[in-house]
Every structure is written in structure tokens, then in C-alpha cells.
Amino acid sequence: MRTYIFAIGGTGARVLRSLTMLLASGVEGTDTGKEIIPIVIDYDGDNGDTKRTQDVLEKYQKIHSAAYGNKILDHQEHYFCTPMKSLRELIDDETILSQNVRYGIPLERMDKETTYSGYIDYSSLNISNGTLPTRRLLECLYSTEPAKDDQNEENLKAELHMKLYHGFRGCPNIGCVVTKQLLDNDALNQLPGLIQEGDKVFIIGSIFGGTGASGIPMLLDFFKSGKYEESFNNNKVGVLAVTPYFNLNRVDDKKSPIDSNTFIAKTKAALTAYEETVYQTADAVYMVGDDKVAQPFENIEGGTRQKNSANVVELVGAMMAIDFMRKDDSSLEHSFFEFGLQNNHDSTTPLVYGDFYEQTTKSYFDPMTRYVIFKHFCQQYVFKKQWAASDYFVGNDSGLEKNNPFFDNLEAFYKEFELWITELEDRKYRPLKLFNLNEDSYDKLLEYRNLEDCIKEMNIRQYMSESCGDPSKKDDGSNNAEKYEGHPEELFFVNAYNALCRIQTDINKQSSKNKKSDK
């Protein structure tokens, strides 16, 4: 089964980045039988968030391919186990998607100099061809300020003459016109032949800006009411509508067209419009946002400098994507889902493990805990390449030589994960504090539990080695080293998963003891 995930705009890309981190952690619902096709749609050709997400996707795909590309057995909730492919890999036609397209759909008639007026051919509207009334109507609907200001710089207050290369800058009225081009996009029109019965589609975007608010209903129409409607009758289509969760710094108020004071009004307008469109056609609608948006961010209209720090709202959005993937089709009949906290604080108090409901902590945070411990073990022991002969799970006997590029890719991805976690934690507004990544001691890695010598490197090594090479330690008498012979990277993750599940049992026992002693 495949899930085609359309990540629209900067918000969509950031949610996709968080989703990739959850997939790497092997959270509940991940499965080698559930392939993901990420498709980024962003009219900002140089968007830093989009480029960073694409880099993370590429790193993830290399690791998964090395470990599970020729999988022997099906795996659930193992590290990096969910397969991922780019749309380019499914469309073997360079005339539709070139080799250098990684995870997006290229947009036609768009370059760095394209303006909205040029896109709609505004200059051709005149008296002689009878289109002057259309020209006058456009001048009533959009600001006609010139593209350049008095200093010969781009006039960011211009609408009709706005350059489109950095997106729609919070103007869904422009976005709705431009996004219509996707309906005729050659790559998108390959989907009726690619999407099979049982596959799903999930569309992610914000509804308080321009790109997402216009892109969500357009894509939904493509799948549910367009010319290919009958092709997708047996496919569930879900939507994640992200409502406001940040403000923007108004230092450059006079120059920027993006005004966070209008976010709520735009959201209300979008929701009103969605009542007759999205709500009626989507099989599932997820909504997440945060009304405690006290902390402003730098107002950057787009481009390479737009690299916003990870936000807990984006993490929750990623959880919703996984929830949609793992739900049975029978539970996706025009359903609506929201996310709530068990405890809600002011905007500067860190969110911690206990602020979330058990369904969230068990499904997402506990697997992330095991992943963080395993990451720490790799960095402290495996990547240092000081392997002992008794460690069956590494070394030449296992097929994992010390210079295996698998470890280089894994180490590079861990650095991306650490950056993501750090961004979630080091915020003035809505910090999420789960881990202490700078601690050397395993027992101090978890912010929310006092483990007191519960986790040791030697325990992890022992559990991994027993899983790999000592059949007497396994109830069924099997030996993973024999079962996965010739697939050392897969064996490494299988042993890690088994070992960290046993570590989780040790953690739970220690936590129970701590609770009893507290009483």
C-alpha cells in the first residue's frame, strides 16, 4: 500500500520533515508494507525549508534502501523501516520529470522574473480586443502598485505585479489562480495510472497563507471531483489543514505584504469556503494549530533564508499523517480529527512528556525514546569503530565492515535529527522538552524519567549480540545471524529494535520502582 503525501508550501515541507524523523524512529504505524511517496509543491523555488526537507528525505531513503531494499521479512515499527520513493522513480519518463527533480512537481511558466500580471497576460487586455472590462476588474481586485519601489527594489506591496518565484506571500486570491495550472501538469496527470486500489492520498498545507490555502481544495478537486474522479473511487483522501501557530515580526511592516494580523481572518475565510468544498469531499480532515502565538519570528517572504525552526505543531501534524496511514478505510468516512493536550501551559513553559495523553506518548514518544538511546549508542560506540569480538552484530563476520557507507549515512541523519530536536527544545515560544541530547550518561538522556543506572552500554551490546548470534537466548531457537545472512544492515536494525525493546522493559521496571518509592 502506498500513501501519496502532498506537502504544500513551507508549512507542508516542515511537517514532512517532522514526519521523516518519526519514520526513522519506528513509531507506531510504520511498516515495510506501507510505502510513502512524498510530493512537495512549493512555488518558492529557493525556499530553504523545502530544500532542507528534500535533503532529509534523501538521507532517509539511502538508509532505508541499504537496510531494507531487499527485505527478507516484513517489519513493523523498526528503525527506518517505512519505504519511500520519489515521484520521479515511479515516472520513468524524462520528458515528464527530469532526473534532477527529487521530491517535487516542477511548475510550468515559472521562473525568477515571472510576475502575476505576466502569468495572466495582463498586458494583452485592451480596448482593441474587447478585454478592457477584464483589465479594469483586475485593477479593482488587486493592488496595482509598480513592481519596483523608489529605491528600484522589488515592491513587496505590489499584488498585480508581484513576482511569484517566492510564492504567494499570504495572498490566496492570487494562489487560487496560479495553482490551477497543476490540473494540467503532466506529472500530476500520471497519477491515475500509478495509484492503485487501497492506496491513499494525504494533502498537507496551512490555511492562513497563500500557497496551502489555495492548493488544498485544488488538489482535493483533482482526486474527488475532477476528470479522474472515477479513477480514485477506491482511494481515501485526507487533508491536514494547519491553522495559525506563529506570528511574524513586524519590523519591516511597510515593505512586507505578509501581515500576521490577518492570519485569523484568512483562516476564517478559508474554513467558511471549506464547508462547501473540503468538508464535503475529503474522507478525513485533520486540523492542528495553536492560539498561543505570542512569539514572533523574522518576517521572511521566502528564498534560501526561510529556514524556520521546528515547531511542536508540525510534529503533531506529522503524527496526524501517520494516524491517517494506519487507519482502516472503514474509519475514514468524512471524519474529522483534532489534537488536544492533557495539560496546556502558557506559551513560554516547556511542554513535557506528561502534558500529552497516553495515546500520544505510547505511540510516538516511547518509540522516539528508544531511537534516541540507540542513536546515542551508535555515536558513543558503533561509529567509533571500537568493536569487540563478542559483538556478533557488527564486524566483518556480520558483513558490516568499518568503512561501510551505511554508517556514514546513518551518522549524517542523526545530526539532522539532533538539529530537529534542538529546534523543538530551544524555543522561547512553545518549547518541547523530551530529551537531554548533550548528556553522556544514558540514564540522563530522558528529561522526564530518573533512571538511576537503568541503561548501560554493556546492556545494549549484550541484548544486540544475544539477538544476533546466540540461539539459546531465543524462545524459538532461531538465530538472526543465520536468518539475515547476506543482509547485514537489515540485521543491524533488527537487533537494535529487539535490544531497545528489552531496554524499554528495563526502563518500565525502573519507573515502577521509582513510583513506589515516591509513595
Give tens-digit pLDDT for 258-276: 555 556 656 666 666 677 7
Residue scoring higher pLDDT (259 or 212): 212
Q: Are 172 and 210 in contact (CB under 8 A)?
A: yes
Q: What is the pLDDT of residue 376?
A: 95
Q: How many CA atoms lie within 13 A of 383 on its CB side?
A: 18
Tell me the average pLDDT across 500-515: 83
pLDDT tens, position by position, 327-381? 988 888 888 888 888 888 887 888 999 999 999 999 999 999 999 999 999 999 9
Would the CA dihedral through 337, 341, 346, 351 be positive or negative?
Answer: negative
C-alpha 245/C-alpha 313 separation (Å) is: 7
User: pLDDT at residue 246 above 70?
Assistant: no
CB neighbours (10 Å) of residue 28?
18
Tell me the average pLDDT across 209-224: 78
pLDDT tens, position by position, 105-128? 866 656 667 777 777 777 888 888
Q: Residue 335: phi, psi to the nearest 5?
A: -95, 155
User: pLDDT at residue 515 above 70?
Assistant: no
Q: Are 54 and 40 in contact (CB under 8 A)?
A: yes
Q: Are 258 and 205 in contact (CB under 8 A)?
A: no
User: pLDDT at residue 302 above 50?
Assistant: no
Would the CA dihedral through 283, 344, 271, 139 be positive or negative?
Answer: negative
Residue scoring higher pLDDT (382 or 269): 382
User: pLDDT at residue 471 above 70?
Assistant: no
Alpha-carbon Rg for the chain in angstroms: 25
| Buried-state track 59-78, b at ≥16 Cβ within 10 A, e below 16 | bbbbbbbbbbeebeeebebb
Q: Residue 56: phi, psi to the nearest 5?
A: -65, -40
Q: What is the dihedral of CA 163, 167, 173, 178, to 10 degrees?
A: 80
Sequence-distant (6+) residues with CB within 8 A of 89 are none
pTM for the full predicted model: 0.85
Q: Are 205 and 216 in contact (CB under 8 A)?
A: yes
User: pLDDT at residue 304 above 70?
Assistant: no
pLDDT tens, position by position, 84-111? 999 999 998 888 887 777 888 866 656 6
Hey, which of 240-254, 293-307, 347-361 has the most confident mean pLDDT?
Answer: 347-361
Q: Measured between alpha carbons, how far is residue 6 from residues 41, 271, 427 in Å?
A: 7, 20, 28
User: pLDDT at residue 299 above 90?
Assistant: no
User: pLDDT at residue 134 above 70?
Assistant: yes
Q: What is the pLDDT of residue 285?
A: 92
Sequence-distant (6+) residues with CB within 8 A of 185 are 105, 107, 108
User: pLDDT at residue 298 above 70?
Assistant: no
Could you tell me how far CA 398 lies from the centroid of its own chain?
33
Cell numbers for 105: 512537481
Name which of 241-245, 300-304, 421-425, 431-435 the model is least confident about: 300-304
User: pLDDT at residue 183 above 70?
Assistant: yes
